[in-house]
Amino acid sequence: MTRLNPQTTPRYQQLAEKARRNKEAAVNAFIGKKAEIDEMLARLQSLSDEHFNYHPDEIGWATVDSLEHYASLLKRITDSAFSEGEYAE
């Protein structure tokens, strides 16, 4: 009785090709999302460099509140990314 090599059967080859395409799609999606994040970070850095488009005469508690809101959102992101704060293990 001859045994088939499972790695050479058409079904195995189809599954392997599907896995390869799936992996390729995931890598492409990852690269796309990373590019989105890089663009957002660059825009935020540019805005920060321009003091969030506030002139010193315009700064008051409302502008401080806005920056506090931005900082709290960024802290959630960095805490998640670095396993800190509520995300600490």
- Give pLDDT tens digits for 32-86: 999 999 999 999 999 999 999 999 999 999 999 999 999 999 999 999 999 999 9
Which is more confidently placed, 6 or 87?
A: 87
11 band by pLDDT with thresholds 50, 70 and 90: confident
Rounded-to-integer distance, Cα 70 and Cα 66, Å:
6
The domain limits of the chain are: 1-49, 54-89
Question: What pLDDT sits at residue 80?
Answer: 97
Tokens for 73, please give them.
């959102």
Integer-rounded Cα radius of gyration of the chain: 24
Instruction: Give the global pTM.
Output: 0.77
